[in-house]
Amino acid sequence: MKKDKIIYWVLTILLSLSLALAGIMYITAPVMATGFSHLGFPAYFRVELGVAKIIGAVVLLLPVIPGRVKEWAYIGTAIVFISAFIAHTSVDGVRTTTSAIIFIGIWAASFIYFNKVSR
């Protein structure tokens, strides 16, 4: 059980760092505004998604958050990663989706270990 907790926390910290850093960059980095307009998204969506990623990262990391809320954060995160994969594939082709695929894998492993640890 201790091994499962360690794996869960390492994966969840990686996932949350990814979400938080991306969220901050979405809000503050001008290059992200260019990237979002390249994908055809409106400017407000970049800020909205950035805030949602930061909130999701906090929810996944805080142990006082109920498990049901964490499950919804995992679902929202999965939707974000799958949507990123679809958006990048449809505009730039599969070659630009490597990071989305990697983080879908990290997300899946974190979610599996979340379910193992929370039993």
- pLDDT, position 93: 86
Range 67-88 average pLDDT: 94
Q: Region 7-19: what's the mean pLDDT?
A: 96
Residue 78 to residue 108: CA distance in whole angstroms: 8
Task: Give mean pLDDT, residues 26-50.
Answer: 93
The whole-number pLDDT of residue 26 equals 95
Residues in the chain: 119
Three-class secondary structure of residue 35 per DSSP: helix
Residue with tokens 């909130």: 55
Collapse the DSSP code of 2 into the 3-class scheme (helix H, G, I; strand E, B; otherwise coil) and give the result: helix
* Model confidence pLDDT, tens digit, residues 41-64: 999 999 999 999 999 999 999 999
Instruction: Output the DSSP codes for 71-101.
Output: HHHHHHHHHHHHHHHHHHHHHH-GGG-HHHH
Predicted TM-score (pTM) of this structure: 0.91
**What confidence tier does 97 reach under pLDDT thresholds 50, 70, 90?**
confident
Q: Say how far apart CA 18 and CA 45 lie, in whole Å.
A: 18
